[in-house]
Amino acid sequence: MPRRKPITKLGIFGKYDLNPEQAVANYFESKLNNQYYVYVFDDLLNVPGWDVARNGFELKGIHNDRDYMEITKEQHRMREQAQRQATVNRKRLEQTTDLLQRMRAEFVELNDFLKDCEMKEQNALDTVKREKEKHEQYGQKIAQLEADLEKLDDFVVKYEQTINTFEPFEKVMEQTIAESKSYDNMQELIQRCDSLLLAQVEISAVEQQKIQEIEEIRQNLFKATKTALHIITGLNNDLSELLTQYVAAKEEGLRWEKSVTVVKSYMVENESSMNCLLDAINHVYILLRKRRGSAPVAPRGDVE
């Protein structure tokens, strides 16, 4: 049962302010226009070639189908190319990661080897230094012994003179031993004095040894600090390289995402236009079939 008041806008072709019945009549009139086309050329009257394709919805639909097929092929090609490029990038990333792991392992091995070499070199230098010091000490001791022998010869002479000179002091020491309760004899007093002198010498030697140990500890701390600085510098360089690779990969991904977004939006717009065109053609077809008193037979997507 037809509508009492048809819609006022067809939205497909012709004038949009007419109802569908008038719009269809205008459509056929604009399609056929006049039955004959007159071309003033040598006084000839030419009729249009009706087998020649005219501009219309069917031709536009065919062109849109062809454009859609080309765009679909281009989309598949770009998708395959993107997949191949993603595979290549993944392989490159894996190769880069493997290379980085190998380089890190080699760097650790080389660093350990350099540390061992440096420690061995330092130990060798310390050994040579100690041997030289011992050699110098032995030379000094030999020279000192020779000088001591010469001094001993003089000492013997002076000792005899000293005995004669300090004989009164011996009497004083004997008197001290006799009066003191801490000492029993002369030998004990002399041993006490010698012990004090030896203790002073040992204290001086221990002091020099501690000073040398403190200096060695300071050298070891300096070496450890230097080694840690080298390790931190290498790690900072590795981190900078990884950051550069990450930024490059991120930029590449953004470019691909932008390209895919443009293609997707274009496909959506094209599909929307195609659906609108198919709906218009189907609507016109249904109206024509109704005017002729027959039911629609062709499906919506069959433009031909």
Q: What is the pLDDT at residue 3?
A: 44
Question: Are the C-beta atoms of residues 263 and 75 closer than 8 Å to each other?
Answer: yes
Q: What is the pLDDT at residue 17?
A: 56
Listed in sequence order, the residues at least 6 apart from 48 whose beta carbon sits closer than 8 Å to its beta carbon are 36, 37
Question: Are the C-beta atoms of residues 10 and 16 closer than 8 Å to each other?
Answer: yes
Query: How many residues are there in the chain?
Result: 304
- Burial call 24-55: b when 16+ CB within 10 Å, e when fewer: beebeeeeeeeeeeeeeeeeeeeeeeeeeeee
**Tens-digit pLDDT string for the chain (304 aa):** 344 454 444 444 445 555 666 656 655 554 445 444 443 444 444 444 444 455 667 777 778 888 899 999 999 999 999 999 999 999 999 999 999 999 999 999 988 889 888 898 888 898 888 888 888 888 888 888 888 788 778 877 887 887 787 777 677 777 777 777 676 777 777 777 778 778 888 888 888 888 899 999 988 888 888 888 888 888 888 888 888 898 988 898 888 888 888 888 888 888 888 888 888 888 888 888 788 777 777 676 665 6
- Residue recorded with tokens 């080309």: 70
Q: What is the pLDDT at residue 25?
A: 60
Domain ranges of the chain: 53-292
pTM of the model: 0.25
Q: Nearest 10 degrees: CA dihedral of 223, 226, 227, 230?
A: -160
What does the block give as tokens for 137? 């000490």
Q: How far apart are CA 266 and CA 206, in angstroms?
A: 90
Question: Are the C-beta atoms of residues 189 and 177 closer than 8 Å to each other?
Answer: yes
Listed in sequence order, the residues at least 6 apart from 53 whose beta carbon sits closer than 8 Å to its beta carbon are 59
Phi, psi of 223 (to 5 degrees): -65, -45
Q: What is the pLDDT at residue 49?
A: 44
